[in-house]
Amino acid sequence: MSTSTLSPRTGRVPFSGTPAQAAVRLARAGLYGEYVVYEREGAWWYAGGVRARLVADRTHVTLDAEGTRTRTAWQDDLPAAVHRALSTLPGSDWRAYGWATFELSYALAGDAAELGEEALVHLVVPEAEIRLSADGAEVRCSDAAAEAAALAVLDAAEPAAGHGEFSPLPVDLGGGADGPYGKSVAHAVDAIRNGDLQKVILSRAVEVDGEVDLPATYLAGRSVNSPARSFLLDLGGIEAAGFSPETVVEVSADGHVSTQPLAGTRALSGNPAEDAARRADLLTDAKEIYEHAISVQVAWEEMAQVCREGSVRAEEFMSVKERGSVQHIASRVSGELPYADRGPWPALAAVFPAVTASGVPKAAAYRAIRQLEQEPRGLYSGAVLTVGANGFLDAALVLRTVFRQHGRTWLRAGAGIVEQSTPEREFEETCEKLRSVSRSLVPASQ
CB of 393 closer than 8 Å to CB of 250: yes
Number of folded domains that form the chain = 1
Closest Cα to residue 287, out of 263, 255, 307?
A: 263
pLDDT at position 2 is: 47
Domain harbouring 379, CATH code: 3.60.120.10
Cis peptide before 215 (omega within 30 of 0): no
Cβ–Cβ contacts within 10 Å for residue 388, how many?
Answer: 18
| Domain extent for 197 | 180-438
Is residue 316 one of the residues assigned to a domain? yes
DSSP H or E run through 249: strand 247-251
Cβ–Cβ contacts within 10 Å for residue 314, how many?
Answer: 13
CB of 401 closer than 8 Å to CB of 324: no
Angle between helices 19-28 and 144-155 (to 10 degrees): 130
Strands 60-65 and 199-207, how do they pair?
A: unpaired
Measured CA to CA, the distance from residue 412 to residue 402 in angstroms comes to 8
Distances from the Cα of 343 to the Cα of 103, 106, 339, angstroms: 22, 21, 8
Is residue 366 one of the residues assigned to a domain? yes
Q: Which residues pair with 386 in a beta bridge?
A: 97, 394
Strand order in the sheet with 238-244: 136-141, 128-133, 43-48, 35-40, 229-235, 238-244, 401-405, 408-417, 199-207, 359-360
Measured CA to CA, the distance from residue 205 to residue 208 in angstroms comes to 10
DSSP H or E run through 64: strand 60-65
Measured CA to CA, the distance from residue 170 to residue 103 in angstroms comes to 28
Is residue 367 one of the residues assigned to a domain? yes
Is residue 214 one of the residues assigned to a domain? yes
Cβ–Cβ contacts within 10 Å for residue 155, how many?
Answer: 14
* DSSP string across 109-149: TT--TT--SS-SEEEEE-SEEEEEETTEEEEEESSHHHHHH
**Interval 165-175: pLDDT, tens:** 666 677 776 66
Q: What is the pLDDT along the chain (446 residues), one digit of tens a residue?
A: 444 567 766 678 999 999 999 999 999 999 999 999 999 999 999 999 999 999 999 999 999 998 999 999 998 899 999 999 999 998 889 999 999 999 999 999 999 888 999 999 999 999 999 999 999 999 999 999 999 999 999 999 887 655 556 666 777 766 666 789 999 999 999 999 999 999 999 999 999 998 999 999 999 999 999 999 999 999 999 999 999 999 999 999 999 999 999 888 898 888 999 999 999 999 999 988 998 998 999 999 999 999 999 999 998 899 999 887 889 899 999 999 998 778 899 999 999 999 999 999 999 999 999 999 989 999 999 999 999 999 999 999 999 999 999 999 999 999 999 999 999 999 999 999 999 999 999 998 74
**Interval 303-321: pLDDT, tens:** 999 999 999 999 889 999 9
pLDDT at position 311 is: 96
Is residue 230 one of the residues assigned to a domain? yes
Is residue 133 one of the residues assigned to a domain? no
Q: Output phi, psi for 121, to 5 deg.
A: -135, 135
Cis peptide before 353 (omega within 30 of 0): yes
pLDDT at position 164 is: 54
Is residue 341 one of the residues assigned to a domain? yes
Strands 359-360 and 326-336, how do they pair?
A: unpaired
DSSP H or E run through 360: strand 359-360
Q: Which residues are catalytic?
A: 246
Is residue 59 one of the residues assigned to a domain? no
